[in-house]
Structure 1
Amino acid sequence: MLQTRPGIFNPILCGARLLQQWGVDMYIKIESCRLKWYRKNQTKICADLYKGVVDAITSGETRASAVGVRIVLPGTYPGGDRDMKWRHMDAMAIVHTYGKPDIFLTMTCNPNWEEITNELFPGQTAQDRPDLVARVFHGKLEAMKEMLFKKNILGVVANVYVVEFQKRGLPHAHFLLIMDFAYKLVVLEQYDRLISAELPDKQKYPELHALVVKHMMHGPCGALNPKNVCMQQNECKCRYPRPFNENTAQGKNSYPVYRRRDNGRQAKVRGKMLDNRWVVPYNPYLLRMFNCHINVEVCSSIKAVKYLYKYIYKGHDRASFSIDQPDADGNIDEIKRYVDARWVTPPKAMWRIFGFPLCANDPPAYSCLFISQICTGWHSMSKLT
């Protein structure tokens, strides 16, 4: 039903907003059937291992009267809270072996990719075809993984990535990359060779200049546009515009302060003239290769490693609401907690319908379940996912 065939009219793919709603409804039906199976088969998934004293101790509960029945959503369900927590522990096991991550890379879908625009029907836009957006972004993501992990353009030895869908709809992927010892970024000159936070020379590099202006300029916000979406309490939450810097400086438990020279280069972005203070850090090679927003940051100076991994494993966007409390009998329904108040966008619905993975790590990790704790390890020859 989601395929285009020569000479055959497919009304679903021409439905525009109806296609978006149809995709979300179909995914919710599929998910509801799966969650219903978990609810009715708590004994088969050994839910008793999660209940009672073990979970009470883990949550700090000391009163026996407060320990009730728990409807469990196990870690085998992709995207669930327990799955995200387990994957976070897998990532910590990789860090324990290979060290802290060196690069934090974010890749965002470009709705104007030729692979998308060339396949649209007359009069359609990318938002009318969430199925096409999901397929093309998955293909681009696989190409990025091949370059990073097979062609080894950055010398990556271990990695973790997560695909996210925000309320705006377009998918993006977060990568945390651990580099081989021989490729570690140890001096500031290496930062400048890998990452740029400046507008390139328009005469020498016209194509790269156009890509930076199109994809890697923040805002405008602040005094230039106080109503921009990034503004919170009259300040940009991303801290733009950044100050000019003649040289890159090492961050203190933070990202580096990248070189942003006051060289007079400016570009008109959304009606305002912006300079190097507004450039989002990028890698020129990856930007030219993929023609989309690709933010590349050095994160090896950040001491709070767990913060980075918890950020990428934060899970779904949710509406604000009061925290669920156990009912009068102390019962907790994890499935209801997972389902309630989530944002499900059409691209995410299509991504899940197609069965594309939400996250992965390499090398693979495996978990060993003990009586009161879960220990995570890895094996370099393992094929587990």
Structure 2
Amino acid sequence: MRFRYMDVMALVRKFEKPDIFLTMTCNPNWDEIKNELYPGQCAQDHLDLVARVFRAKLEVLKKRLMENDILGKVHAYVYVVEFQKRGLPHAHWLLIMKRKYKIRCPEQYDLLIYAELPNKKKYPELYKMVTKHMMHGPCGMLNPSCPCTKGRTSCKNRYPRPFCDSTSQGKDSYPVYRRRDDGRKEMIRGHTLDNQWVVPYNSYLLRTFNCHINVEACNNIKSVKYLFKYIYKGHGRASVAVREAGKKDDKGNVDEITQYREARWVTPPEAMWRIYNFDLSKNHPLVQQLQLHLQDMHMVIMNKRDKVERVIKRPRVKESMLTAYFDYNRIHPEARGILYRDFPKHFTWNSTDKVWQPRKNVAY
């Protein structure tokens, strides 16, 4: 978690704060899934198919964002795939836009992000998708047993949101989106909901992927920490008890502590994702992790069967990225103006010979 977090913070240092936070959730009713099922089957019967289709959709989304510039020209991105204990996989994206395409005013927010029900007569297909995928709840007083309200006095996601005639910058890193009281309402899960319950979305992405795809504007690095602290806080765990009914010790007591076992909880979609060896997270551009250590205290990779004496006698065993950086600066004066953190932009690391070599093309 720490390594991945630091990689993304290196991107933030170079390209400034993230601009867009995007969440895409798998839809089990996608045609690509339903068309491959046998009569009487559902998506839960072929979670290998669910994992493969969701991964293909992620690749399409990446192409639309990076090559087609749907939300503007992207300078850097990172995404992380999450698997809930009882639910479908979804991916969280952070996009850092190029300086010209950064969102800086409410008028630009309204061009990309919507938090209202569309015109049902003018956009019937979009209206159907918004009411199906982008309506929160109902929760709060309408449904106290909803997971986001259970054990609380109100919704933890602050729904229903107040009406607002225009978009403005909020107190936290997210703006207050326009939610006009235009009288548009829809019956959702037994309750009549209006614009106060709409989750922010992008019309093009919603119509293209036909799934829950939340798009938010953000300008705070807290979203980076949330991305990795929440996802990589540790794998899911479950307590399991396996015992014979009525079995007791010599004194007639039942030792419940020794009979329970803590085990790792892996959902079927996550198991298939790992079997297929799909990426759990990815960032662009790539970040070179540099070694930093005291003298003669760098890490050495060795096989457990190797003898320490032979490892110490290996050629250039005392060299590392850091010592090679010092050596290159000592020999080549033109490199002395480049900081160690920026060295990979101009040079590549040869792990075999343990030397820095000039790049043919300058990196980001």
Relative to the length of structure 2, the TM-score reads 0.73
Change (3 A) 1:316 1:173: farther
User: Residue in 2 aligned with 1:74?
Assistant: none
RMSD: 2.5
Matched-pair identity in %: 57
1:311 deviation in Å? Answer: 4.3
Matches within 5 A, 1:232-311: 232-300=151-219, 302=220, 304=222, 306-311=224-229
Partners of 1:126 and 1:317 in 2: CA distance: 24
Q: Is the 2:18–2:221 contact (alpha carbons within 8 Å) kept by the matching residues of 1? A: no
Q: Is the 2:236–2:266 contact (alpha carbons within 8 Å) kept by the matching residues of 1? A: no
Partners of 2:362 and 2:133 in 1: CA distance: 37
Partners of 2:264 and 2:19 in 1: CA distance: 32
Partners of 2:362 and 2:274 in 1: CA distance: 23
Partners of 1:151 and 1:312 in 2: CA distance: 30
Partners of 1:182 and 1:108 in 2: CA distance: 29
Does residue 371 (structure 1) correspond to residue 293 (structure 2)? The answer is: yes
Matches within 5 A, 1:147-166: 147-154=64-71, 155-166=73-84
Change (3 A) 1:368 1:250: same
User: What letter corresponds to residue 286 of structure 1 in structure 2?
Assistant: L
1:355 deviation in Å? Answer: 1.0
User: Residue in 2 aligned with 1:360?
Assistant: 282
Change (3 A) 1:376 1:279: farther
Partners of 1:97 and 1:256 in 2: CA distance: 24
Unaligned runs of 5+ in 2: 240-261, 299-321, 323-339, 347-358
Q: Is the 1:198–1:260 contact (alpha carbons within 8 Å) kept by the matching residues of 2? A: yes
Does residue 212 (structure 1) correspond to residue 123 (structure 2)? The answer is: no
Aligned to 1:173, the other structure's residue is in SS state strand
Between Structure 1 and Structure 2, whose CA radius of gyration is higher? Answer: 2
User: What letter corresponds to residue 167 of structure 2 in structure 1?
Assistant: T
Deviations 1:219-245 (A, max 9, x none): 001111111111132321111111111
Which of structures 1 and 2 has the larger relative contact order (alpha carbons within 8 angstroms, sep 6+)? 1
Partners of 1:379 and 1:131 in 2: CA distance: 40
User: What letter corresponds to residue 29 of structure 2 in structure 1?
Assistant: N
1:137 deviation in Å? Answer: 0.2
User: Residue in 2 aligned with 1:107?
Assistant: 24
User: Residue in 2 aligned with 1:342?
Assistant: 264
Change (3 A) 1:123 1:306: closer
Aligned to 2:290, the other structure's residue is in SS state strand
Does residue 181 (structure 1) correspond to residue 77 (structure 2)? The answer is: no
Partners of 2:224 and 2:123 in 1: CA distance: 39
Deviations 1:162-205 (A, max 9, x none): 11101123110000000011111111010011000000010111
Number of aligned positions between the proteins: 283
Q: Is the 1:283–1:296 contact (alpha carbons within 8 Å) kept by the matching residues of 2? A: yes
User: What letter corresponds to residue 83 of structure 2 in structure 1?
Assistant: F
Partners of 1:104 and 1:254 in 2: CA distance: 11
Q: Is the 2:21–2:216 contact (alpha carbons within 8 Å) kept by the matching residues of 1? A: yes
Partners of 1:96 and 1:177 in 2: CA distance: 14
User: What letter corresponds to residue 132 of structure 2 in structure 1?
Assistant: K
Partners of 1:120 and 1:379 in 2: CA distance: 49
1:312 deviation in Å? Answer: 5.6
User: Residue in 2 aligned with 1:337?
Assistant: none
Equivalent of 2:47, from 125, 130, 141? 130
1:141 deviation in Å? Answer: 0.4
Q: Is the 1:88–1:310 contact (alpha carbons within 8 Å) kept by the matching residues of 2? A: yes
Q: Is the 1:107–1:292 contact (alpha carbons within 8 Å) kept by the matching residues of 2? A: yes
Matches within 5 A, 1:13-162: 84-154=1-71, 155-162=73-80
Change (3 A) 1:233 1:101: same
Change (3 A) 1:110 1:305: closer
Q: Is the 2:7–2:287 contact (alpha carbons within 8 Å) kept by the matching residues of 1? A: yes
Q: Is the 1:89–1:376 contact (alpha carbons within 8 Å) kept by the matching residues of 2? A: no
Change (3 A) 1:95 1:152: same
Deviations 1:298-349 (A, max 9, x none): 011x36355344446534453489xxxxxxxxxxxxxxxxxx6532100000
Q: Is the 2:24–2:92 contact (alpha carbons within 8 Å) kept by the matching residues of 1? A: yes
Relative to the length of structure 1, the TM-score reads 0.69
Q: Is the 2:103–2:109 contact (alpha carbons within 8 Å) kept by the matching residues of 1? A: yes
Partners of 2:64 and 2:287 in 1: CA distance: 22
Q: Is the 1:253–1:303 contact (alpha carbons within 8 Å) kept by the matching residues of 2? A: no
